[in-house]
Structure 1
Amino acid sequence: MSTTDRRANLRDTLIDLARETIAGEGTSALKARTLAAEAGCSVGSIYNVFGDMHELVMAVNGETFRDLGQAVTDAIVASAATTPTDRMITMAEAYLAYAAAHPQLWRALFDVPITETSNLPSWYLEALDELLSIIDAPVSDLFPDLPPDAVRLRTRALFSSIHGIVLLGIEERISSVGKDNISDMIRFIVESVGK
């Protein structure tokens, strides 16, 4: 096996192990020494594959974005939703279901500090863009005269609103968004967009 193949295999192993750890205990549980022992490599080998632990978490998040996008897409395909509003409600409920089923992986998407000056890898931005593009479609159907950048702005606003409701509901924050009310609140926001 070539050095390139060994490095690629180690990369995949580290992502799988990190994903397991994050899924069970969150990003704060991810430690290089423990990860190295589980992977059967040295701590230095981790840093030969990933520049730092932040980069490893980003790799896990890239997979989570893809999984989340697939869950949303599958929900649309499986539903009988026909109107743009119905499709957005289906998407939002799939987002909620994913967050509820994988709370630590979902939280990790937002635990990584990202700013406008962050040097994000292109594959990460592409994974995020793919997720937002799924939402763009029904938003475009609702607002057919808007240019793509205006559609994306509305998509981001809608995503931010739904994310806030899901976050506050799942984490049972002080806003008293009860878990039983999350779906109703999502429906209210999405239906308001469609009016």
Structure 2
Amino acid sequence: MGRRSDHTREQLRALLIAEGHKLLAEQGLGKFSGREVAKRAGYTVGTIYNVFGSLDRLVAAINSHTFLLWADFLRERLAAGGDDRIKSLVEGYFDFALAHPNLWSAIYDHRLVDADELSETDYSQRAALTAIVEDEVRAVLTDPTMPGADRFARSLIATVHGHCSYVVSGTFALLEEPDPVGSALARVRECLAAQK
């Protein structure tokens, strides 16, 4: 029997996200189970639907939580990384993904049928990571107010992401790429140099 009155709605939301986050980290999206999340939280699976409306929205909230952790991770790496902040950013991207492959992969493997299913909270949590990258990219541009700097930064994210996904999936190992992080960093530096 679930603990139906032990928590407020907000406490339930936080509890289900925390338990779901642990399960996703352990088993990945392919083996993720709402029933198991509810069980670990001490509730029935119906509680997920009462709180989130759907299992997809729970996974989206878990992924948004991962974005927050990732943003904090990058802030720490930038603070400790010295003067070469772009290098710290690129290496931090890879390091987070490799330390949390199931969580990182779930962000990109989970597809919502309707983007409107993301809450304002989800959007703001996800935007924190992009904002860090945009700020760092603007800081090295000759003209930080360059039109399209935000789009340029997102394109650099895509470049690093592609390299990183090849590492996480093992594709670069099959291609015998000796330094995927260095390769990603070189591509980013080339793009930044072309904007100066």
Verify the 8 A CA contact 1:76 1:90 in the aligned structure 2: yes
Verify the 8 A CA contact 2:134 2:154 in the aligned structure 1: no
Q: 1:126 maps to which residue?
A: 124
Superposition deviation, residue 74 in structure 1: 0.6
RMSD (Å) for aligned C-alpha atoms? 2.3
Q: Aligned to 2:106, which of 105, 108, 112? A: 108
Superposition deviation, residue 65 in structure 1: 0.5
In the alignment, is residue 7 of structure 1 matched against residue 9 of structure 2?
Answer: yes
Identical-residue share of aligned pairs (%): 26
Corresponding letter in the other structure for 2:187: I
In the alignment, is residue 138 of structure 1 matched against residue 136 of structure 2?
Answer: yes
TM-score, normalization by structure 2: 0.86
What are the ranges of 5 or more consecutive residues in structure 2 without an aligned counterpart?
none
Query: Which stretch shows the higher mean deviation, 170-179 or 119-128?
Result: 170-179
How far apart are the structure 2 equivalents of 1:96 and 1:104?
A: 13
Could you give the per-residue CA deviations for residues 144-182 of structure 1, whole angstroms, max 9, x where no partner exists? 435466111111100000000000112112784557412
Could you give the per-residue CA deviations for residues 67-88 of structure 1, whole angstroms, max 9, x where no partner exists? 111111111101112xxxx211
Verify the 8 A CA contact 1:68 1:98 in the aligned structure 2: yes
Provide runs of 4+ in structure 1 moved above 6 Å.
none
Corresponding letter in the other structure for 1:152: D
How far apart are the structure 2 equivalents of 1:193 and 1:186?
A: 11
What are the ranges of 5 or more consecutive residues in structure 1 without an aligned counterpart?
none
How far apart are the structure 1 equivalents of 2:80 and 2:87?
A: 13
Q: 1:174 to 1:80 in 2, by over 3 A?
A: closer
TM-score, normalization by structure 1: 0.86
Q: 2:90 maps to which residue?
A: 92
